[in-house]
Structure 1
Amino acid sequence: MSTPTPFQAYPTLNLLSSELQDLVRRNGRQVQAPPGTVLFDLGSSCTGFLLVLAGVVEVSRPHVDGRSILLYRLEAGDTCVLTLNCLFGEVAYEARAVVRDPVLAVQLPKGVFHRLVDESPEFRHTMLALLTRRLTRVVRLLEATAFVSVQQRLAGELLARGPVVPATHQELAAAVGSVREVVSRQLATWAHAGWVATDRGRVTVLDPGALEQVLEPLGGP
């Protein structure tokens, strides 16, 4: 399967005037990043608007005690709400973005992004709508982290990504806002009960019904 162009992955770009579309083509810089690459970190400034064409980026908020919470993942066609926040508000990043699967992207300079926003009502409306929707999901995630148990968050994560979840215990801990030791103990308990099987860098859901029962107080996955 071929990698989409920016105009295929981000249909909103097709609504730009021919002049602005040419501006995107002339100024877009290709970005290739292997797994583990930090695309931005806490306190760093925003250098441009990233159009993800392939791969996966995980955006998380680390804590001084070593824990971190996964805020969201970016795949082809996704827009990073924290980048929008930085571009619109001229503020520094409040999270860390790390490449999980090899990324191919195109980055537009900050000045080009602002020109698209200023001159295209359709582009501006789309960006603001994306900002609103993603921020709503982040708020819901923070509510879940505050009021839902680690056991329930982990069960939900496995059911959402299963039956085979290619993730280390550390990555799962970041996804549910916990620490590796807690997640490892819970997975060991479930493995002993026959609900999951754990291998290096992978968890396989064997009994989804049992995990769904863990979620019953929440009304399901």
Structure 2
Amino acid sequence: MRSVNERLMDELIAHSLFSGRYSTGVARRMIKALNEFDAELTASLIVSLDDTSIDVNSFTARRLESLLSSVRSINKRAVDSAFSLLTEEMRAHALYEAGYYPSLFDALLPDVVLRKYPLMSITEEMLFSSVMSRPFQGKLLSEWADGLESDRMTRINNAVRNGYLNGDSAVEIGRKIRGHANQGYKDGVLQLSRANATTIAKTAISHLQATARDQFC
């Protein structure tokens, strides 16, 4: 008969594999939430830039700030939507993780051990609050959201500035930012921000799981 430690190791490996697949799914849903605003963002950008009175000599940082005000608003809504989804996913996963370790040890440990050493558990809300108040990779989740929003706008600003200096049209600049449909929009300047969002989502889920494990132990 296999020992408790061997069975525990098997369960933890299975849990790790499940967690990896789950975090990948969360990241994909988060990226989808971001992408849903891409068409609106690009259209607003093209309309804002399609101004014949703008040339290299009149193109200043202040003018760029003014031109992209509507784009900035859409970008904020996109990031807010993506992080709202991530937060909801984390709250739902907190319910699962809060019950996982107590259920696991309750199933594996002999009754005599459980009677002598009753299992302690935390609630979903306790776990979620702890996760949201603890930084991971040096930042709170809210700070990661602010950073992603700022990163996307910086990339947009730089693409617009370079586009004007190169004499690109508003449509060409828009395509450089969003990317091309025949490339799956993976050739635009926003692609790296999508990769960053994927990393944030996976790290956030991993942070939640580590917190659940630490608080149970």
Q: TM-score, normalization: structure 1?
A: 0.26
Larger relative contact order (CA 8 Å, sep ≥ 6) = 2
Question: In proportion to residue count, which structure has more strand?
Answer: 1
